[in-house]
Amino acid sequence: MIRAAVPTDVPALLAMVRELAEYERAAEHALATVQQLHDALFGPHPAVFALIAEEPAVDSATEPGTEPEAVGFALWFRNFSTWTGTHGVSLEDLYVRPHARGGGHGRALLAALAQICEAHGYERFEWWVLDWNEPSIGFYTSLGAEPMDEWTVFRLSGAPLRALAARSTYDGGGAGGTHRGS
């Protein structure tokens, strides 16, 4: 079952984010806290959203009322294409716990995001995948997704980000400032 995340999901979401970081060989970079993730998803102006994949708890047959287990998630945000003039979906993270892989949860999460695109008239659904992650690449291409080899991803962080910001003449403020995007 796929459903929208609720505030009580944040600890499980963060645990899965850390599991994903471990799988991607970058555990030392998973620094988000429960509070940060909660605020991003459920604060006054959320700009990121999450879907949860659930399975019935292992003991739900013997213990009625047992809560379902979160076995995967998709964390996403809206983007915008100046070419199409519409928003789209950018998938930040897709993760299914190892014991639940092969059960259709990844496909169901992606299908739910495709449904969101269709419901809102979004023209694009995009994400990145590490070039060594062959199982995921194969999965995505089996869905009809196409790699965009002509693009290179850039990132600015840490000291270079601060140095560039110091050169700014923008007077609209930063995060939470008066610019129209906040």
Residue numbers annotated as active site: 140
H-assigned helices in the chain: 10-23, 34-42, 105-120, 134-142, 158-166
- Going by the DSSP 8-state scheme, the letter that residue 131 receives in this structure is T
| Phi, psi (degrees; rounded to nearest 5) at 116 | -60, -45
Q: Alpha-carbon distance 9 to 21, whole Å? A: 18
Q: Is 3 exposed, middle or buried (0-12, 13-18, 19+ CB in 10 A)?
A: middle
Place of tokens 């991003």: 40
DSSP letters for 11-61: HHHHHHHHHHHHHTT-GGG----HHHHHHHHHSSS---EEEEEEE--TTTT
Is there a contact between 69 and 15 (Cβ–Cβ < 8 Å)? no
CA dihedral 12, 19, 51, 141 (to 10 degrees): -170
